[in-house]
Amino acid sequence: MPRESKREKILEAAAKIVKEKGSDALTLDAVAKCAEVSKGGLLYHFSTKEALVKGLVQHMDDIYRHNVESLVEEEEDDNGKWARSFINVMHAKSVENETISAGMLAAQGINPKLLKPLQDTYADWQNHIEHDGIDQVDATILRLAVDGLWLSEIFGLGPLNPSLRKKVLERLQELTYSNDY
């Protein structure tokens, strides 16, 4: 297993702080302490709190893009492959999603303009989903359902028990194979 880079260690520490304590607790000192790096080491990678949050959002965007796009490449059935991949990432990566989602929360609290990479990714995915070989309204509803589940989990709003969560995601996936299109 490759060694974790200092930069990744810092980003994961920042995500952990936001997830556990909120974006107000995100300070360079707190991140350096949590990542077990010197403040100078942290400043080498991220000179300001805004740079750190920008890095966190980019890290999150890179992970999401990789996760979704690698599943798209593995899909054998072209119809619904983007919607299905989006659903499958939510299904398979729930713990990882929860942690890296902290970047989005921090950016929203510190400077919403930092969300631009993620907004661009979502715009690209929405375009793919709309041209995915299934009805574009149904495909969009599936994406929005997955986003709703993700956000309800991030904020702890009516979380589903694991069995029901699994069944919901399986049903959403089944809908991508509908023969009605």
Judged against a pLDDT cut of 70, whether residue 65 lies above it is answered with yes
Reply yes or no on whether the pLDDT at 178 is more than 70.
Answer: no
| Tens of pLDDT, residues 32-60 | 999 999 999 999 999 999 999 999 889 88
Neighbours of 158 (CB within 10 A): 7
| Residue-level pLDDT at 144 | 94
Phi, psi at 41, each rounded to 5°: -65, -40
- pLDDT value at 101 more than 90: no
Mean pLDDT of 113-119: 90
| Confidence at residue 173, expressed as pLDDT on a 0 to 100 scale | 92
pLDDT of residue 98: 63
Give the per-residue pLDDT at 167: 95
Tell me the whole-structure pTM to 2 decimals: 0.81
Q: Which residues of 134-153 are buried (b: 16+ CB within 10 A; e: fewer)?
A: beeebbeebbebbeebbeeb
In eight-state DSSP terms, residue 76 is S
Contact 92, 165 (CB under 8 A): no
> Given CA atoms 112, 86, 56, 118 in this order, what sign does their dihedral have?
negative
